[in-house]
Structure formats: structure tokens, C-alpha cells
Amino acid sequence: MPDNPIFAVAAKAEALRARGIDVITLAAGEPQAATGAAVVAAAIAAVRDPAAHHYGPAQGLPNLRERVAARIATDTELPWTPDDVQIALGAKHALFLAAQALLGPGDEVLVATPGWPGHAEVVQAVHGVPVPVPADEEFRVSADALERHRSARTRAVILSSPGNPAGAVYDRAALHRIAGWAAAHGIWVVSDDIYRAFDYTGTYSSILQVAPGLRDRTVLVGGVSKEHAMTGWRVGWLAAPAEIIDSARLHVSRTITHVPVITQRAALAALDDDATPAGAAHDYRRRRDLLVAALNRIDGIGCPVPDGGMFAFPDVRGLLRDRGWTTSAELAQWLLDTAHVAVVPGEAFDAPGRLRVCFAVDDDTLATAIDRLQNVLGNLVEAR
Ligand SMILES: Cc1ncc(COP(=O)(O)O)c(C=O)c1O
């Protein structure tokens, strides 16, 4: 079985670096910044505290779950308690725990395409069947499209807003229609909110804010990975009805026992620091605008402005046609070899003819990457 294609790009970039080549990677799905000093200090304090050296509860530290519950209460405008929350080893593990709780072998889960491959992977990991649902031109799946792909085996839909790779944010009306469809057919909604802090249009809503009645069939997934530059620490969560949390806790207890206490303490410090995501979102928005404008100045590239997230998702079909490449993967490989800039080919997201370019890097890195791309791709057009 192939590994996640996004990691394959990172491995190629790493191989060039090992040969001493100065590669800039805009391929990773993670902020380039180091984790904040307050979080690091909390982790060091935890390392030094013997209370953090021993087993903890399978469900996660009560004070971390309390903080997560408070945050979800703000987003959903509904009451949540620490009992409603399970701490996981990152959002991907939380998605896996949701999938193992919800699915039997052969149960189908609707996932958006283009979409993050991890959504299909967690479904497959528990012997479920991911069913790709084509997104509209704004990279959102509609209730109508979901209905066209529903079968007697459909158990759940995974939604992500803002999304990966295109940063699409679902507005209230779209969420309302999807919630109505899910309620009518008894389908669970798994809402992957990992990019929640990166909403540049202010239009983000939780599906439970729009449709509180769906609460007994909704799993909310989140984590500190993206918004606190903590992808390596592996802390995320799910919030869900008791039957799902019970199943997730049991699975955690039987497998990893619990998420390390030290990283949970670090995550708690991160959640206490609301300033970081707001500051990062401010910077990312500026870098998004810079990158999108620069890409749109290259002949053969058309780049929509993403409403959220941390990726530009340009259409490069004109470039492929003009230069005689057949796939985005060839273009990405050529960019890596000639410009030493790593980006992810659209094929990784089932979107041939596109590239995913991360703008969660510092200003200098982004400026150098843009220079390199413009140098090798040339033919700048007047700003559109
Ligand atoms: C949509 C989406 N959900 C979840 C994740 C995984 O997050 P974590 O690192 O917390 O497991 C990613 C990572 O790229 C993602 O893009």
C-alpha cells in the first residue's frame, strides 16, 4: 500500500538536502515556525515534575479536557464537559478513533475530493470504505452531491472547514443543508476542525452552531498541531456523544494507554495562549495574498484566493499544456530539481492539474521561494 503521497514529496526534498542542496519546502502541511516559548517552557516544567512521569487517565488529563470543552463551547455555543472529550495523538488519531467507533467492515464514509488523503486513510485503516464525493468549483461538497453518493451502507461524512488542500470554508447555508440531509438519513457528521483558527473571511461556523439538533450524531475533531506549530508533539482531541467517547477511551486504553502527560501539559499551555493562533492567522493571511498574487503573475497559472487554511491551490493546467508536461507530478519534480522548491502535486489530493503550495513559512523563505519560482517559470504576465 502506498504511503501518504505528501510525505513522499518531503522525503524527496530531504534527499536533496542531504546532498547539500538548499531546498525550500512549501510542501509540508505544517507551520514552519518553532513551537512558542510558553509551550516549550510548560513542557520543560512537566519534564521536571515527577507527577508527569507516571501513568495518567486513558481519556486524557482532566484539565486539558476541560480547556478543550470550553473552547468547543465557544465555537458551538453549546455546553460541553470534560466527559465529552477524548484526548488523542493528534487530529489524525482522533479521526481514526472516530472511525473505529463508528464503522464496521464495509461501512461507507463520504469524503470530499479533492481532499486530504488522511480522511480516506483512517476509514480504510478500520476496514471501512471511503466514497469520494466531488467537490464543487469552490472545493465544497454540497448536500446534493452527498445525496448522490449515499447508499444503504453510508454511515458518516467527513467535512473539513477550512479545508485542505484548497482552504474552502463552509458557510452557514451550506452547513444547514448538509445537517438537514444528515439528520434525514441518520448519517454521522465528523467535523475536522484542525484549521479552524485560519479563517480569513470570518465566515467559519461550526456545524453544531448552525444545527445544534445534530449533536447526537456529530464528532468534532481538533488539535494543536497547526495553530500552535505543534505537529511533532501529537496532541489532538475528539468531542462526541458518550457512546463514541467510551469506545475511543477503550481503544486508547487497550493500545497506547494514553497520550503522554508531558505533551498534554504542553497542549494545555498552548490552549491557554490564545494570542498565538490569532497572530499566526494575521501573518498567514498576508503571506497568502503575497503568494497568490505572485502565482497569478506566472503565465499559465490561475490561483484562487483561499478563504482559510494554509495552502494555495493553483490551477497549473495552462502551464502543463504550454510546456509539454502531462502531470502536475512532473511539474513538481521539475520545480524541485531546477528551482529547489518543493510543492505537492495535485494528484496527491485527486486533483490533477493543480499544485498545493504552503504559505505557513516565514516572510524571507516565502519571498525567496517566489523569486525562484518566477525565475524558472518566467513569462510574467501583468497583475490580473
Ligand atoms: C485536514 C487535516 N486533518 C487532520 C490533519 C492531521 O492533524 P494532526 O497532525 O493533528 O494529526 C491534517 C494534517 O495535515 C489535515 O490536513
C-alpha cell at 325: 508536461
Where are the alpha helices (H) located in 114-241, listed in sequence order?
A: 117-125, 143-148, 172-185, 207-210
Residue 380 has pLDDT above 60, yes or no: no
Q: Please state, for a pLDDT cut of 90, what percent of the chain lies above it.
A: 90
Q: Where in the chain is the domain with CATH 3.90.1150.10?
A: 5-35+276-377
CB-based contacts of 290, cutoff 8 Å, min separation 6 = 359, 366, 367, 370
Share of the chain residues as helix, strand and coil, in percent rounded to the nearest 5: 50, 15, 40
Counting atoms of ligand 1 from 1, which one is nearest the CA of 224?
A: 10
Following DSSP, what letter does each residue of 46-70 receive, concatenated?
A: HHH-GGGGS---TT--HHHHHHHHH
- Check if 309 has its Cβ closer than 6 Å to any atom of ligand 1: no
Q: Which residues contact 50 (CB under 8 A, 6 or more apart)?
A: none
For the domain covering 37-272, report its CATH number: 3.40.640.10
Contact 328, 345 (CB under 8 A): yes
Ligand 1 center–CA 298 separation, angstroms: 30
Q: Region 162-171: what's the mean pLDDT?
A: 97
Cα–Cα distance for residue pair 335/56, rounded to 1 Å: 47
Q: For residue 311, what is the enclosing H or E element? A: strand 311-312
Query: If phi over 0 gives left and psi between -120 and 50 gives alpha, with beta otherwise, what is residue 180?
Result: alpha
Architecture of domain 5-35+276-377: Alpha-Beta Complex (3.90)
Q: Is the CB of 206 inside a 6 Å radius of any atom of ligand 1? A: no
Taking alpha carbons only, the member of 73, 94, 78, 104 closest to residue 160 is 94
**Ligand 1 pocket residue status of 167, Cβ below 6 Å:** no
| pLDDT of amino acid 12 | 86
pLDDT above 70 covers a percentage of the chain that reads 97
Q: Are 1 and 331 in contact (CB under 8 A)?
A: no
Length of the chain: 384
- The DSSP bridge pattern shows strands 188-192 and 311-312 to be unpaired
**CA-CA distance, 380 to 127, in Å (whole number)?**
48
Q: Where in the chain is the domain with CATH 3.40.640.10?
A: 37-272
Q: Is the pLDDT assigned to residue 263 strictly greater than 70?
A: yes
- Amino acid symbol at 314: P
pLDDT of residue 138: 94
Q: What is the pTM of this model?
A: 0.95
Whether ligand 1 lies within 6 angstroms of the CB of 194 is answered as yes
The mean per-residue pLDDT over the stretch 138-148 comes to 97
Q: How confident is the model at residue 383 (pLDDT cuts 50, 70, 90)?
A: very low
Residue 131 C-alpha cell reads as: 466514497
Give the ligand 1 atom nearest the CA of 95. Answer: 4
- Provide the pLDDT for residue 274: 78
What is the pLDDT of the chain when averaged over all its residues?
A: 94
Report pLDDT digits (tens) over 41-96: 999 999 999 999 999 999 999 999 999 999 999 999 999 999 999 999 999 999 99
β-pair partners for 108: 129, 154
pLDDT at 4: 65
Yes or no: say if 213 and 221 are a contact pair by the CB < 8 Å rule. Answer: no
Beta bridge partners of 110: 131, 157
Dihedrals φ, ψ of 345, to 5°?
A: -65, 145
Using an 8 Å Cβ cutoff, are 191 and 72 in contact?
no
Nearest residue (CA) to ligand 1, atom 13: 29
Instruction: Say if ligand 1 is within 6 A of residue 308 CB.
Output: no
Which helix (DSSP H) or strand (DSSP E) does residue 155 occupy?
Answer: strand 154-160
Cα(224) to centroid of ligand 1, in Å? 10
- The per-residue pLDDT for 317 is 96
Confidence of residue 277 (pLDDT cuts 50, 70, 90): confident
Q: How far is CA 222 from CA 12, 15, 64, 76, 295, in A?
A: 29, 32, 13, 13, 31
CB of 225 within 6 A of ligand 1: the answer is yes
Residue appearing with cell numbers 515527577: 50
Q: Which residues contact 97 (CB under 8 A, 6 or more apart)?
A: 86, 88, 238, 247, 248, 251, 252
Query: Is residue 236 in contact with ligand 1, taking CB distance under 6 Å?
Result: yes
pLDDT value, residue 5: 65
SS3 call for 204: coil
pLDDT class of 382 with cuts at 50, 70, 90: very low
Put the strands of the sheet holding 311-312 in their side by side order.
311-312, 355-358, 344-345
- Cα(194) to ligand 1 centroid in Å equals 6
Q: Which tens digits make up the pLDDT trace of 294-310?
A: 999 999 999 999 999 99
d(CA 68, CA 33): 23
